[in-house]
Amino acid sequence: MMKSKKPGHFTPRVIQSRFPAAWTWFVDELIPATAKKKYSPKESWKEKPFSKEDARFFFKGIEELSNLFTEERPKGMVPYFNHPKYRCAYLLYFLPLQAAKFLTLFELNPGALKAALQHGREQKVLRIADIGAGPATASLAFLLWILENEKGEIPRIEFYWSDTQSDILKDGKELVESLSNQFPKLRDKVEIHLSTLPWWKSASRLPDELSLTFLGHVLNESAVPTQMSEAFWPDLIDRASGGGVLMVEPAARKSSQYLSRLRNELFSNDCIENTPQRIWGPCLHAGNCPLAEGRDWCHFSVPTKIPGEWFKGFSENLGSERQWVKFSYLWVASASHPAPLPPATARRVISDTLSQGLKATHLLCEPDEARKWNPPSGVRIWRGDVVKLSKGREEF
């Protein structure tokens, strides 16, 4: 049931994307050079600078992979990383697109990154798991973020990556090593461990204590029955310290509601304590998610212009110049480094504008229900904003 309530004063907080200074070099030089060196069909092409001719040649794979991603996949995703053409296409276009999502979430939850760094300094090494890593998209986004935001000495970093396809892991390893060698702050500080195995079997192969864990676009592409992964989550959560576990999925209903149900189960099965401090986001409460079932689902669309000459050209040729990043996510906080307790009056906006005119309406997230809310006239509200109501309900 949806209830309507007129709030008092509030303070909106808007999700924003911010790109590190190293981003343009990363997407316009490092990725194209690496993709061309590894996947050009002619040896004479491999050492030449990436050109418009190369962009036209490789765009065929990008277009095919884009079409594959937009098709209905009732039995799970085909193993596209097995094909060199699609591995190259992913590096050139989808890696920057997905990395932009991680950077957006890092900006939204900087406390989780600080918790990861604090734990890494305490342990003298920052251990990061990237499960279903692909070309290490999340790990690369983290390195770009840390280069931009960490002013002090960066601790030694150990990455633990797993994927079912070894060649794409090697592509990611080459990119991370090239990135690390480019910047003195990271040089000789990064160590990479690779495992070729399914995500639901990976937890037992990880260190006992992790500073940060990523799962990016893993669950939506899996056809694994739930019972096969039941032991995975408690094992993974037990190993998660520091910044906890970040799961990022497409903004589609199926994958978004999977995350919502998983969140509910983590609470109900006592994998995590029943407090909002065990969730960095998007939740501000520990009650049942109101969007775990039904026609609506918890996802976010952030207005973003992703920098990059080649990325912009590929987007235009696909007929969909990217002006948004869209995703659903769940960021579980660790017991050792809990998230701050949200104010009792804070609510997450979980819809775009439902009606126009004098009384624009949005949905606010509360335990077990989505509540209708009318912001003051003339105030622009985005899905994902956190608003603080002067007359909130009881503390949760």
In a domain, 114, yes or no: yes
Whether 218 is covered by a domain: the verdict is yes
How confident is the model at residue 324, as a pLDDT?
Answer: 85
Q: Which pLDDT tens digit goes with each residue over 134-169?
A: 999 999 999 999 999 998 899 999 999 999 999 999
- Please, which pLDDT band fits residue 2 given cuts at 50, 70 and 90? very low
Q: What percent of the chain has pLDDT over 70?
A: 90
pLDDT at 94: 97
Average pLDDT of the chain, as a whole number:
89
What global pTM score does this model have?
0.92
pLDDT at 103: 97
Determine the average pLDDT of the residues in 338-358.
86
- Would you say residue 208 has pLDDT above 70? yes
Looking at per-residue confidence, does 387 or 89 come out higher? Answer: 89
Q: What is residue 75's predicted lDDT score, i.e. its pLDDT?
A: 54
Burial of 182 (0-12, 13-18, 19+ CB in 10 A): middle
Residue 27 lies in a domain: yes
3-state DSSP assignment of residue 139: helix
Is 349:385 a contact under the CB 8 Å cutoff? yes
Q: Which two tokens stand for residue 248?
A: 């990022």
**pLDDT confidence of residue 359:** 77
Helix (H, G, I), strand (E, B) or coil at 193: strand
Over residues 32-50, the pLDDT tens digits come to: 999 999 999 888 888 899 9
Q: For position 322, what pLDDT does the model report? A: 77
* 290, 368 contact by CB (below 8 A): yes
Residue 356 lies in a domain: no
Quote the pLDDT of residue 394: 32
In a domain, 337, yes or no: no
Amino acid at 48: K
The contacts of residue 295 (CB under 8 Å, 6+ apart) are none
Closest CA to 127 of 301, 286, 243, 264: 243
Contact 329, 108 (CB under 8 A): no
Least confident window among 176-190, 322-336, 347-361: 347-361
- The share of the chain scoring above pLDDT 90, in percent, equals 72
Domain of 51, in residue numbers: 23-332
Where residue 257 sits, what CATH number does that domain have? 3.40.50.150
- Give the pLDDT of residue 381: 85
CB contact at 8 A, 165 and 194 = no
Q: Are 115 and 337 in contact (CB under 8 A)?
A: yes
Q: How confident is the model at residue 14 (pLDDT cuts 50, 70, 90)?
A: low
Q: How confident is the model at residue 357 (pLDDT cuts 50, 70, 90)?
A: low
* pLDDT at residue 15 in the model: 59
Binning pLDDT at 50, 70 and 90, where does residue 6 land? Answer: very low
For residue 65, being part of any structural domain is answered with: yes
Interval 209-268: pLDDT, tens: 999 999 999 988 776 656 567 789 999 999 999 999 999 999 999 999 999 999 999 999
Tens-digit pLDDT profile for residues 104-142: 999 999 999 999 999 999 999 999 999 999 999 999 999
Instruction: Report how far residue 161's alpha carbon sits from residue 242's, in angstroms, rounded to the nearest whole number.
Output: 18
Residue 5 pLDDT level (bands cut at 50, 70, 90):
very low
Does some domain include residue 385? no
Question: Is 7 part of any domain?
Answer: no
175 three-class SS: helix
pLDDT given at position 1: 34
Instruction: Flag whether pLDDT at 396 surpasses 60.
Output: no
Residue 7 in this model has a pLDDT that exceeds 80: no
Which one-letter amino acid corresponds to residue 167? Answer: D
Split into its structural domains, the chain has a count of 1
The residues near 84 (Cβ < 8 Å, ≥ 6 apart) are 39, 167
Q: Is the pLDDT of residue 77 over 80?
A: no
